[in-house]
A and B are shown apart, each in its own frame.
Chain A
Amino acid sequence: MYVSPIREPLIKGGKDYSQVTKDIMAPMAGKPSIYWYVGIAISGGALLFGAWATFVTVYYGIGSWGLNKTIGWAWDITNFVWWVGIGHAGTFISAILLLFRQKWRTSINRSAEAMTLIAIACAGFFPLIHMGRIVLGFFIFPYPNTRELWVNFNSPLLWDVFALTTYFLVSLIFWYVGLIPDIGTVRDKAKNKIRKAIYGFLSFGWTGSAKHWSRHETVSLILAGLAAPLVLSVHTIVSFDFATSVIPGWHTTIFPPYFVSGAVFSGFAMVLTLLIVTRKALNLEQYITKVHIESMTKIIILTGSIVGIAYITEFFMAWYSGVEYEQYAFMNRAFGPYAWAYWIMMTCNVITPQLFWFKKIRTNLVAVFIISIFVNIGMWFERFVIIVTSLHRDYLPSSWTMYTPTMAEVGLYVGTFGLFFTLFMVFIRVFPVIAIAEVKSVLKSSSDEKKHTHHE
């Protein structure tokens, strides 16, 4: 088998196949550590805060939020776009990197895809709760009804419904098809009868037959081929929510590519934030190595730079268009009452990620962790800036206002964090965090032991 002499090993520690199985399944065995309980207690608390905020919102209505007649969208849609964007890294890793045959994806795709699913669930919550009467949420789907009325297929908000539903369902089956062989492993290693029965049921009777593997590879490849344009379409459609309106600062053709790269940018930052902690907590440092971290920081440099160029292009186009409203909207963003939000965005998205050009910073885990959180913050502020600063000063100066979130809105946002981390920690205990079969399939060409023997 060909072994590249230049590339650094992806799996360290001279593993053999059964060692890989053992290492990756270790976090699922036995009682969880004290840190896990502490983590679940904190995220459970956040979830409770969110439950309270949901109750307040449903009971009193949207009036419990800080929205007003000028600013109709604020934290809710900001959070929605932010969470959807975070989800994009998982699909990017599992689909686009699969099509590009990037072997380093095998160690991180499973957890990133899980993150995608949870992030979409968090995202979908915001438009639903923004409807006010959440029990009537099914109105967004076209179904035969006594009013004989259908939904508006010309509306980007309706496209969002289809895009997100499809995105969630396709991500779910993509993730699960990849999980089937690994659930088979968990089933075969299970010692207790109930555990064996549950995982036996979930493994769908996986046998590992050559024919099944051949079909499994075809399915994975085609699902990747379908998910790649899907992930691009989802954030394109999210950007249409803004781009198809006639609000200065929103009505720009640059939005689709700018939103997609921003989404991948924030998604990779969240994957880094999560995995730097996870690899340490679960003793998976030999599988999620510094090479993986470095590769992700390189994608952050690329997408972050695209986002930076998009900000500058937007500013240039506002001036170049000669439209005074457009020009005012951008001057107001940078120097108006929300300038602090704009400059936080600029610093966190355009300046700090550029530090990744230095190898010393890319390989310093503490620095990567801090910068990844900066990116998460910056990307949240990007959406806040786009939404709130564009709305708060509209065409009529008499209706200019400011926006402050209420405790209910804060609670909803914190609550989705609770949901995100709770589900992620449950996932860690229930399924293998790393794709066992996929890691084994690259072990020979990419582990340090094999590379060593090859040179001797």
Chain B
Amino acid sequence: MNKYLTAYYLDEEDLLKGLKKIMSKGVEVSDVLTPFPVHGLDKVLGLRRSRLSVVAFAGGAIGATLGFLFQAWVFTRAYPINFGGKPYFAVPSFMPVTFELAVLFAAFSMVFAFLISNNLGPGSKNIIHDEQITDDRFLLVVKMDEENEERIKVVENILSDAGAQGITLKA
């Protein structure tokens, strides 16, 4: 059975300092929950840069291609209409719709990827460790093995040495 050891700070600079200390002692912090994005936290936790930009690019490329090809198909194959002698394959006048579809697909594919990768969505049942973290607490979560009571004691000491408050063990 897994248990969670949580502790919090009330200031992001204290959090960063404390976190460095805790991690240097070999404690694996599984997550840090904050009320707003704390700069420098990614580096301390060793998080990779998000690759959502790749999704956005791919989505945009698909949108642009589909949009362009569809318009070209409509005006040269499906139902060519002569508009005042203008060319059927009128690339410049396909651009606005192509551009809009690129933006639409890029934005939506990226936001869906964001929601899926974070397991966020309507009715999502993520664990809320502490209701104060959306207010003013910077909470760190350490996953613990229930059997290993000794280790729990050790980690608790490390946390309190690093100035973390409200150390609690949760199921």
Contact = CB atoms under 8 A, between A and B. Distances in A.
A349 B121 CA distance: 45
A205 B124 contact: yes
Given A163-B96, A214-B42, A218-B50, A205 B121 contact: yes
A444 B11 CA distance: 10
A19 to B, nearest CB: 9
B33 A166 contact: no
B35 interface: yes
Contact of B123 (A154, A201, A207): A201
Interface in A223-279: 223, 226-227, 229-230, 233, 237, 240
Given A170-B107, A188-B132, A209 B31 contact: yes
A244 to B, nearest CB: 9
Given A166-B100, A189-B135, A153 B110 contact: no
For chain A, which range describes its interface: under 10, 10 to 19, 20 to 34, or 35 or more residues? 35 or more
B153 interface: no
A150 B115 contact: no
A14 B96 CA distance: 48
Most interface-central of B37, B42, B106, B119 (chain A CB within 10 A): B37
A223 B113 CA distance: 13
Given A149-B79, A162-B101, A207 B111 contact: no
B96 A208 contact: no
Contacts of A150: 74, 78-79
Contacts of B114: 177, 215-216, 219
B103 A226 contact: yes
B73 to A, nearest CB: 9
B45 interface: yes
A1 B128 contact: no
B136 A181 contact: no
A21 B122 contact: no
Contacts of B56: 222, 226
B124 A153 contact: no
A441 interface: yes
Nearest to B42: A214
Given A170-B107, A205-B119, A210-B31, A233 B100 contact: yes
Contacts of B93: 153-154
B154 interface: no
Contacts of B47: 210-211, 214
Main secondary structure of the interface of A (DSSP, over half): helix
Given A166-B104, A215-B52, A219-B114, A207 B126 contact: yes
Contacts of B31: 209-211
Interface string B45-74: 101011011001000100000000011001
B45 to A, nearest CB: 6
Contacts of A217: 37
A14 B47 CA distance: 33
A212 B114 CA distance: 9
B13 interface: yes
Nearest to A205: B124
B24 interface: no
A153 B75 contact: yes
Most interface-central of A149, A158, A170, A217 (chain B CB within 10 A): A170
Interface of A: 1, 16-18, 21, 142, 148-150, 152-154, 156, 158-159, 162-163, 165-166, 169-170, 173-174, 177, 180-181, 184-185, 187-189, 201-202, 204-219, 222-223, 226-227, 229-230, 233, 237, 240, 437-438, 440-441, 444
16 contacts: A153-B74, A154-B86, A163-B100, A187-B134, A188-B133, A205-B126, A209-B31, A210-B41, A215-B52, A216-B37, A218-B49, A223-B110, A226-B60, A226-B103, A233-B99, A440-B36
Interface of B: 10, 12-13, 31-38, 41-42, 45, 47, 49-50, 52-53, 56, 60, 70-71, 74-75, 78-79, 81, 83, 86, 90, 93-94, 96-97, 99-101, 103-104, 106-108, 110-111, 114-115, 117-129, 131-136
Given A148-B78, A202-B122, A215-B117, 16 more contacts: A17-B135, A142-B70, A148-B79, A159-B100, A165-B104, A169-B104, A181-B134, A189-B134, A189-B135, A207-B129, A208-B133, A208-B134, A210-B31, A222-B106, A229-B103, A437-B36
